[in-house]
Structure 1
Amino acid sequence: MASQGPERDGNDAGHLLNKPSSSETQPLLDPRTSTASHHSGESATKQLTARHAFAVLVTLQIGSGIFASPSQVDSNVPSPGAALLVWALGGLLSWAGAASFAELGAAIPLNGGMQAYLAYVYGDTMAFLMAWIYIMAAKPAAMAIQSIVIAESIGSISSSPTAAWVLKLVAALTFVAMVLVNSINTRVTIRLSESFTGIKLMTVFLVVIAGLVAVIAHLVNPKSSLSGGEDWHSKNWFSTRPTFYEGHTIDWTSMSTWDRYGHYSAAIYGGLWAFDGWDNANVVASEIRNPGQALPKAIKAAMIVVLGSYELVNLAYYILLPWSTVSSSDAVAVVALGSAFGRWAGILMSILVAVSCAGSITSNVFVVGRLTVAASERQYLPAILGERGLPWRQSQATIQCDDPGIDSQANGIAVQNQDKLSRFDAPIWANVLALVLTLVYILTGSFRTLLTFASMAMWVFYISTVLGLLILRRREPALHRPYKPAVTLPAIFVVSGTFILLRSAIFAPVQAGVLACLLIIGTSISKLRTR
């Protein structure tokens, strides 16, 4: 895959060139590679088949969100049936987004993914804004959410309610520990991330099996203690009932249509948060063999599996729990298994959910750290944020090694010391920045406010990228597109996403205001730098 970026000025659309772009427009981060080198003009061999692409897309999407975000969805809709429809809508929107990103990945084989497409269509300022928002808002807020879910999962094991400040303290300490672990070196981070993937998939499977066991137990003996809650077989799944949201009960019968749209928008964001990962379809598109035929099959199969899995998991939650409990707990998976199968089942699920969230934190620490380093190298952020490892110790080893007055044996020892020290190659100061920002979000926000905030921050750029696809179809109709879905998919994505984003901004003005301020600050920094 080519590592070139599009050379652009402030107004011209620009075209793909056969030479590397300037540092002004080069993407800040290639999400597909970390320690691998980026050789200009060197194309990567297409290695993925439809089966491989399917596995990648499924693995990227199934994560920690499905264990926590059901409460965000359930509390913002009037019935369990409506919640399942919201999950389906989130899956279909993600499907449309994945297909759109896949077209961009196949047509514009640039390192950097979404950021590269934004630079190609809109220019450097938009690409910088994406990096800025992801460093300052999206990724720290996401890691704060995952830390809070770990704390909530641990706290839900207790038979008595845990104080809010205790949960925040646990979340903060958890994140500090994760940053320390991920600040050793790149190899440790990658190994941790890989090991967590299987645990995520196993946890989803266990929840579905638990729901199936409860249904079978009820059919065999309606009075069985394993048959879960009673609501699932005694109430209408689409009947309106009060829900619990942000400390108060919602009365849906007296709510206006406009307010309902606001709650539904928040619910959809909860579902979309769980589906997040579909945006990596661009990576699959650029490395798959025969993308015109294989890619549609991979995306279709992956989205069916993920959407089906999420519907089954949510069905299991509603089967295992009283319906009023789903909206009141941010650790619904732990509460569900503990309620249906006893304390030890809850403890096991708490461990699995905590490990799954730890895996997501690991991935986010890795990405935001490298993104921060790349931004500092381009002087978007202070240079110190680009330093890796322990610079004062490494510089000492280098001085010893380069001193001509040192004999060869001493030189050899110095080289060995430098090799050992170079193993600490994690971006320490970038991780410190992520640590500080995330702790601020943990201490000042709640799970649901942060989820809306992080989703809004990401969807600003998802919508902009897919809108860019539509712009390119008109601006560059001759551009070779090995995979080209029907125009209705990106159009529906842009229209639906824009409506949800705008309504959410009105529904959550504080989060929208913070995001707007960050966008204004980022734009100002970018403009000042280019003067």
Structure 2
Amino acid sequence: MDSGQAVGRVEAEEEETAPRPNAPETEPLLGQRTSSVSHTTQQLPKQLTTRHAFAVLVTLQIGSGIFASPAQVDSHVPSPGAALLVWVLGGLLSWAGAASFAELGASLPLNGGMQEYLRHIFGDTAAFLMAWIYIMAVKPSSMAIQSIVIAESIGSVSSVSAHGPMDAGLLKLIAAFAFVSMVLLNSINTKFTMRLSESFTIFKLSTVGLIVIGGIVAVIAHIANPHSSLSGSSDWYSKNWFQTRSTVSNGHTVDWTSMNAWDRYGNYCAAIYGGLWAYDGWDNANIVASEIRDPGRALPKAIKAAMVVVLVSFELVNVAYYILVPWDKLSTNNAVAVAAATSLLGRPAGIAVTILVAVSCAGSITSNVFSVGRLTLAASQRHYMPAIFSKRGLPMFWRSEEDGDCASSSFDAPIYANLLALIVTLVYILTGSFRALLTFVGMAEWVFYVSTVIGLLILRRREPQLDRPYRTNIALPITFVVVGTLVIIRSAMFAPVQSGVLACLLVAGTIISKLRSR
């Protein structure tokens, strides 16, 4: 997940955990479901327009994923043309999910986002599982991926030097150091974290723009002079974009000509996860819906415009990758943006893009640290996590008299929650690989995405009287559920280790939830 992605969700979580004036001392039982939604207690200022919603959605989705996941997609499809089709499919599937979440956000203005929808529809255990999996798996894995991308971008530049490829153990140490540094920066206070997160946005958009411009320059240079050194790789004009060729996945050569249909399906599912991770961020459209003026009319316009811009941007960036990078090297390079710049303008350009990619990934880590810290804090206040994780500010033995012992201190970050995220993420960095983690994150997220959209279909039947300012076409959530379920099932079979870890976490979370309720 990328820079800015956490803002809407976190604002919602902090809104819920903040004390309400004149609030009763007792709250309803956590497992209770209400038949209607209280719009008075959950009201947020309607200050966003269609333009604001469009800008938020675009910023959420364009981030670190587009710099790293193209290799994951390419290694699991038989041709560059098929890879571009996967990116289109991922964009359309994300579009269907965004429209479904927009309906939920407009009809259930509940602070807490997906966690609260699951509680309202399925009960407390489903909400607990969502919080449990996101805190212990999804967010740490995402941050581990982003840290690994930083390290592999640095390693990609060093590999063209006289020293050769960087050692895998050293790459993990660089990734761990990068992550620890970002956690420390994000453990100062909220204002500093938000300013840090906002400052990273320009780097993301600049990097995307530079890569697309690089592809355009290569095409123009080849038209002007077919032998120009600026024309990138020769594969893009000398080979068929839809011709089947061998790829490399997890160190093994994939022979597509002898592969059966079932294995092809599994590879395509793994490729789709790579694309969907880059598109991740559309699920925050529900947060936008709760604050937009006239969401029933304005939000669909924002979603359509944003998804068109993001989908076109991702297609153009991937076309640029296939123009600039030799096709036999793209599937093995998790730092494809760096490789593209290096192939066009040499090592100095590669170093410049490395810095941009590293800063972009650091921005994504910032948003995720900020998000998982507040998610852990909110879960602790819901009694989903031990009470110590609800504490903010410095530990008692570090505080001075000036700091005080409450969140009003200048050190108001959720230190204990950040410490939990630090420990869990470091385990993922040191024990996992980029592609294994990517598949794992995809399965974990989509289990809850599909569950939430199934809840939308249930609400359509269970609460037909519910006010729905925006009502998406029923074909979109049905398509989302069917395709998402098929992708989850086949990917679970295709990646048994990741699916086994996820299943264990779900079972453990269910047991803990039942014990907690007793």
* TM, length-normalised to structure 2: 0.92
Would you say 1:460 and 2:472 are equivalent positions?
no
Do the aligned partners of 2:44 and 2:290 also contact (CA within 8 Å) in 1? no
The reply on whether 1:148 has 2:168 as its aligned counterpart is no
Looking at structure 2, the residues matched to 43 and 130 of structure 1 have their Cα atoms a distance apart, in angstroms, of 24
Do the aligned partners of 1:337 and 1:349 also contact (CA within 8 Å) in 2?
yes
Aligned ranges 1:313-328 → 2 under 5 Å: 313-328=317-332
Q: What are the ranges of 5 or more consecutive residues in structure 2 without an aligned counterpart?
A: 1-11, 18-26
Distance 1:355 1:91 in 2: 25
Inter-partner Cα distance in structure 2 for 1:420 and 1:378: 18
Q: Does residue 200 of the first structure (1) align with residue 220 of the second (2)?
A: no
Q: Does residue 528 of structure 1 match 2:515?
A: yes
Q: Deviations over 1:91-130 (max 9, x none)?
A: 0000000000000000111111111110110001101110
Which segment is superposed worse, 502-511 or 476-485?
A: 476-485
CA distance in 2, matches of 1:467, 1:179: 35
Deviation at 1:420, TM superposition (A): 11
Partners of 1:184 and 1:361 in 2: how far apart? Answer: 15
Q: SS of the residue aligned with 1:249? A: strand
Match of 1:333 among 320, 333, 337: 337
Larger Cα Rg: Structure 1 or Structure 2?
1
1:77 corresponding residue in structure 2? 77
**What is the 5 A alignment of 1:64-213?**
64-158=64-158, 159=160, 160-213=164-217
Name the SS of the counterpart of 1:424 in structure 2: coil
Whole-angstrom distance in 1 between the partners of 2:496 and 2:232: 39
Q: For 1:78, what is the secondary structure of its paired residue?
A: coil
Does the CA-based 8 Å contact 1:8-1:123 persist in structure 2? no
* Corresponding residue for residue 304 of structure 1: 308
Q: How far apart, CA to CA, are the structure 2 residues paired with 1:419 and 1:376?
A: 16
Question: Partner residue of 2:488?
Answer: 501
- Asked if structure 1 preserves the Cα contact closer than 8 Å seen for 2:104 and 2:286, the reply is yes
**Cα 1:287/1:203, change in 2 over 3 Å:** same
Of 401, 423, 426, the match for 1:439: 426
The question of whether the paired residues in 2 share the 8 Å contact of 1:118 and 1:127 is answered with: yes
Relative to structure 1, is the Cα distance of residues 526 and 512 closer, same or farther in structure 2, using a 3 angstrom cutoff? same
Tell me which residue corresponds to 1:478: 465
Contact map agreement 2:42 2:109 (CA 8 A) in 1: no
Matched, 1:51 2:55: no
What corresponds to 2:8 in structure 1?
A: none
Deviations, residues 354-413 of structure 1 (Å, cap 9, x unaligned): 00000000000011111112222233222222222223157762xxxxxxxxxxxxxxxx
1:13 positional shift: 5.4
> What secondary structure is seen at the aligned counterpart in 2 of 1:244?
strand
**Partner of 2:499 in structure 1?**
512
Do the aligned residues in 2 keep the contact of 1:4 with 1:17 (CA within 8 Å)?
Answer: no
Q: Which residue of 2 aligns with 1:29?
A: none
The higher-RCO structure (CA 8 Å, 6+ apart) is: 2
User: Any idea what the Cα deviations from partners look like across 1:407-454, whole Å, max 9, x if unmatched?
Assistant: xxxxxxx5x877999211111111111111111101111000000001
C-alpha distance in 1 between matches for 2:436 and 2:143: 13
| In structure 1, C-alpha distance between the alignment counterparts of 2:153 and 2:181, rounded to whole Å | 17
The letter of the residue matching 2:477 is P
Is the Cα–Cα contact under 8 Å of residues 393 and 406 in structure 2 kept in the other structure?
A: no
Quick check: 1:366 aligned with 2:366? Answer: no
1:346 offset after TM fit, Å? 0.3
| Matched residue, 1:14 | 34
Q: Is the 8 A contact 1:106 1:282 kept in 2?
A: yes
Write out aligned runs for 1:212-251 (5 A). 212-251=216-255
- Distance in 2 separating the partners of 1:53 and 1:453: 30
In 1, the alpha carbon distance for the partners of 2:515 and 2:36 equals 27
Work out the CA distance in 1 between the residues paired with 2:53 and 2:427.
37
User: Are residues 1:379 and 2:379 paired?
Assistant: no
The 1:215–1:396 alpha-carbon spacing in structure 2 relative to 1, beyond 3 Å, is closer
* Structure 2 counterpart SS, 1:480: coil
Secondary structure in structure 2 of the residue aligned to 1:183: coil
Matched residues, number: 493
Q: 3-state SS of the aligned residue for 1:287?
A: coil
Over the residues paired in the alignment, what is the CA RMSD in angstroms?
Answer: 2.0
Separation of aligned partners in 1, 2:471 and 2:188: 43
1:15 corresponds to which letter in structure 2? S
Partner amino acid for 2:259? Answer: M
**Contact (CA 8 Å) 1:394, 1:418: kept in 2 or not?**
no
Change (3 A) 1:194 1:117: same
Q: Which amino acid aligns with 2:172?
A: K
Aligned partners of 1:394 and 1:421 also within 8 Å? no
Deviation by residue 1:6-60 (Cα, 9 ceiling, x = unmatched):
96786x75313549xxxxxxxxxxxxxxxxxxxx826222111111111110000
SS in 2 for 1:422: coil
**C-alpha distance in structure 2 between counterparts of 1:271 and 1:277, whole Å:** 12
Q: Does 1:428 align with 2:428?
A: no
Note if contact 2:78-2:247 (Cα within 8 Å) is conserved in structure 1.
yes
How many Å separate the matches in 1 of 2:477 and 2:406? Answer: 49
| Alpha-carbon distance change, 374 to 13 in structure 1, aligned in 2, over 3 angstroms | closer
Q: Aligned letter for 1:125?
A: T
Q: 1:421 to 1:49 in 2, by over 3 A?
A: closer
Instruction: State yes or no: 1:343 paired with 2:347.
Output: yes
For residues 53 and 116 of structure 1, what CA distance do their matches in structure 2 show?
A: 22
